[in-house]
A and B are shown apart, each in its own frame.
Chain A
Amino acid sequence: MELKASMAGSVWKIIVAQGETVNEGQDVIILESMKMEIPIPAEKSGTLAKLNVAEGDFVNEGDVLAVIE
C-alpha cells in the first residue's frame, strides 16, 4: 500500500523507520504545511517496506512517501 502526502508541505518528522511494523491508524510521517503539523497515518497494518523521503524534504500533494506491505 502506498502512503501518499495529503497536501503539499515538508516532511517534519518520520516516526516509523524502514523495516518496522505499523498498525492501522498509526502515524507514520508528520508533514508540516502552513505552520501546521499534518500527520499521515497508515491505512493498513504491515511493515514499512520502503521510505521515499527524508526529514526536511519538500513534497507535493499525492507524492508517495512510503510503501507499506
Chain B
Amino acid sequence: MIKKILIANRGEIAARIIRTCNKMNIMTVAIYSEADQKADFVDMADESYLIGPPRVNESYLNADKIISVAKQANVDAIHPGYGFLSESDVFAEQCEEQGIIFIGPRASVIREMGSKILARQLMEKAGVPTIPGTKDALGTTEEALIAAHDIGYPVMLKASAGGGGIGMQVVNSDEELIVAFESNTKRAKTFFGNGDMFMEKKVEDARHIEVQLLADNTGNVLHLFERDCSIQRRNQKVVEEAPSTFITEKTRNQMTEAAINAARTLGYTNAGTIEFLVDSKENFYFLEMNTRVQVEHPVSEEITGIDIVEKQILIAAGEPLGLSQEDIGINGHAIEVRIYAEDPETFLPSPGHVSQVIFPQGEHIRNEPAITGTCDVTPFYDPMIAKLVVHGTDRQDAISILTEALQAYKVEGIKTNLPMLKRIAEDETFKKGNVTTAYIQEHYLPIIKAK
C-alpha cells in the first residue's frame, strides 16, 4: 500500500500529481527550492520541505537531500514526474536501496533506454524498426565522415545521452559535420557527462507520433493509443494531440503492436512512451523511449478516460492493471498546447513578473497550470508555465474549443507564446492536419517574418 508520496518535482506536474493523490486519499510531500517558496504546488501538498538554493544541482537534482527528506517525512514512495531525476537510474536505484518505492520502471530499464545507442540495439532485437544509422558510438571525426557517406546526407547527429534537443543537429555536408561533431560532443559532455555520438539518416517530412504504454508487474502490457506531437520548436513540443488523424487504422495497429512488443522484450513496468518518426508513406521508426510520465500525457487521458498518474501509483504499489486492451477505446479528440514564457517569434525566454493570469473556463477545457496568479517566473527552470488541454467530439470540434479558449487566455507582465498558439489554431494547414516536424520552421516562421 502506498499511503504517502514525496513528489520530486515542481510546477504543473507536481500540482498534477498532488491532485490525483488527493483523489486516492494519499498524503503528499512537496520539496521546493528557494526560488519556488511561493509556488502553488508547495501550498497544495500536505507537507512541504525547502531543500536548497534555486540551482537545480543544489535542489531538484540533489538526490541525497531528496532521499533524506523522504525518510524524514516517512513516505512510502517517490514520484519523480518528468525531467529532473525521473530518468536517473542512479536515483531509482538509491530509492530501491533505501526501501522507498520509485514510481517508474526498474533502474536497469531506465539505464538501458537512457543510452540511445543501446536503446536502438535493443529495439532492433525486439523487431521494432529503427532509422538507418550507426550501431555503435562514433569515436572520431573520421569515423563520423565515413558513417555519413555510408548513410548519405542529410543526417541527424545525436548525443547518445541526449535529451530536450541538446547535442542534436541536422548535418548536410562534410564541412558541417566536421564542425558539428566536435561542438556537439563537447556539449553532450558538458550537459550529460557523456559525449558519445551516433548518427541516423534524416527522415524527411516526418511526423512525431508516440505510443503511450502502461505495464503492470504481472506482465500485462496495454497501450493508450498514440499522440501526434509534430509541432515543435527547438526540437521541443508545443502542440500535442490524440489520436493522430494522419495514420491509418492499419498503421495504428502496427505501431501499437511494435510498442507493446518492445515493452515486453524489455520487461518494462509502469507508464512509458515509445516515440516514433513516421514518414509520408507511413513507415515508422523508433526514435526513443521515455521511461516516465510525459508532459503531454493529458491528451491520452482525455480520449481514454484513464488517469495515467493514478495507474502509475497503483502499478508501483504492485496492483494489477485490471484492464484488458478491449476495455480501452478512443473517445473524441484531444489537443494540448504548452504555454511558454518566451518571445513568440524568437523563442527566447522571458522570465519576469506576472501581474495577471486569466484561464479559459469551460466544460471541455482542462488547465494544468504551474502558476495561478501574480508571481515571478524565475530564470532557473523550464519556461513552461501552463498547459491547456481541450477535448472535442472530433478534431474540428477540438480545434474550435481551442481557438475560443486561447482567445480568453491572458498572461500579463511577461512575453508568452500565446500569440503563436492562436495563430496555429487558426492556420489552415494546421486545421487540415497537414503538419510535420518542420511546421514551425517552414510554415509558421516565414508567415511571421513576412508580416
Contacts and interface: CB of A to CB of B under 8 A. Distances in A.
A34 B349 CA distance: 6
A27 B374 CA distance: 35
Interface stretch (A7-15, A16-24, A43-51): A7-15
Interface string B29-60: 00000000000000000000000000100000
Contacts of B55: 10
Nearest to B234: A36
A35 B381 contact: yes
The interface residues of chain B, by DSSP majority, are classed as loop
A64 to B, nearest CB: 18
B383 interface: yes
Given A33-B379, A34-B341, A35-B381, A7 B164 contact: no
Interface in B321-377: 341-342, 348-352
A36 B381 CA distance: 9
Contact of B348 (A8, A32, A35, A36): A36
Nearest to B341: A34
Contacts of B352: 8, 61
B150 interface: no
Nearest to B347: A36
A38 interface: yes
B375 to A, nearest CB: 15
A41 to B, nearest CB: 14
Contacts of A6: 348
A34 B35 CA distance: 13
A36 B341 CA distance: 12
Nearest to A9: B379
B394 interface: no
Contact of B381 (A7, A8, A34, A38): A34
B351 A33 contact: yes
Contact of A8 (B164, B342, B379, B383): B379
B12 to A, nearest CB: 15
A35 B164 contact: yes
A36 B55 CA distance: 14
B350 A35 contact: no
13 contacts: A7-B350, A8-B351, A33-B379, A34-B342, A34-B351, A34-B379, A34-B381, A34-B383, A35-B381, A35-B382, A35-B383, A36-B348, A38-B348
B348 A7 contact: yes
A32 B56 CA distance: 13
A39 to B, nearest CB: 11
Contacts of A36: 234, 348-349, 383
A30 B234 CA distance: 18
Query: Which of B55, B341, B351 has the most chain A CB within a 10 Å cutoff?
Result: B351
A65 to B, nearest CB: 15
Nearest to B383: A34
Contacts of A35: 164, 381-383
Give the top 8 A-B pairs by smallest Cβ distance, nearest first: A34-B349, A33-B379, A34-B383, A9-B379, A8-B379, A33-B349, A8-B351, A35-B382
Interface in B367-411: 378-383
Given A10-B379, A38-B349, 5 more contacts: A6-B348, A8-B378, A34-B379, A35-B383, A36-B349
Contacts of B379: 7-10, 32-34
A59 to B, nearest CB: 9
Contacts of A61: 352
Nearest to A38: B348
B51 to A, nearest CB: 19
A37 B352 CA distance: 17
Nearest to A36: B349
A16 B349 CA distance: 24
Nearest to B343: A7
B383 to A, nearest CB: 4
A10 to B, nearest CB: 7
A36 B234 CA distance: 10
Interface in B274-309: none
Contacts of B351: 7-9, 33-34
Contacts of A32: 379
A6 B55 CA distance: 20
Interface in B225-281: 234
Contacts of B381: 34-35
A61 B353 CA distance: 12
A10 B57 CA distance: 14
Nearest to B187: A37
Contacts of B342: 34
A34 B343 CA distance: 13
Contacts of B341: 34
Query: Which of B341, B349, B381 has the most chain A CB within a 10 Å cutoff?
Result: B349
